[in-house]
Amino acid sequence: MTLFAADTIGLHYPGRPGPVFHDLSLTIRKGESLGLSGPSGTGKTSLMRVIAGLERPTSGRIPIRPRRIGMAFAEPRLLPRLSAMENLSFIAPKARAEGRAMLTALKMAALQDASADSLSKGQAQRVALIRALLIRPEILLLDEALGGLDMATWQSARDLILARRDRDGFALVEISHDPARRIMPEARAISFP
């Protein structure tokens, strides 16, 4: 089942000498994995923003979009005055038990009542990942989302993502500048110059 389709899309920001990308056609299917790679500033995050519907392409068309997209970025973007659990409940109010179970899986249970602004970057990244998973996305977008984690914690987060993917069948699109830290190393790759 196709979740996202783009037909010869391009994106150009005013004031930039050329397009961020152009003539890009892309299809993402249920359960598929896609890895975006390339130097900083080449359009990987911009493409993720287009997939998420946060950015409109300046050319081409997008005939198919998913209904639910989970997103987690290097910058966790939590609501700072809310606790970890309140950040999760804000997005998925009926999934408190599920959120609590994922916090436990990522060794965050003791911090569920801590305010987001008191969490370390790695702790906040784990809450942001759980938030993205709680909505049961059709596509999960990870933009350097686990970059602040030590290897053991990263492996726990990877295992949680893979378990949820096995259960829910979502497509995964990820950006990671570290090939050893890709959730799905065998993912179909799109390289940006």
* Tokens coding 130: 């759980």
Q: What is the rounded CA–CA span in Å between residue 167 and residue 49?
A: 25
Short-list 89, 173, 187, CA closest to 134? 89
pLDDT at residue 128, as a whole number: 97
Number of folded domains that form the chain: 1
pLDDT per residue as tens digits for the range 31-77 = 999 999 988 889 999 999 999 999 999 999 999 999 999 999 989 99
Q: What is the CATH number of the domain that holds 58?
A: 3.40.50.300
Q: What is the mean pLDDT of the chain?
A: 95
Q: Please tell me the pTM assigned to this model.
A: 0.94
- For residue 134, what are the domain limits? 2-191
pLDDT per residue as tens digits for the range 144-181 = 999 889 999 999 999 999 999 999 999 999 998 888 88
* Phi, psi dihedral angles at 109 (to 5 degrees): -55, -40
Angle at 166 between CA 160 and CA 167, to 5 degrees: 90
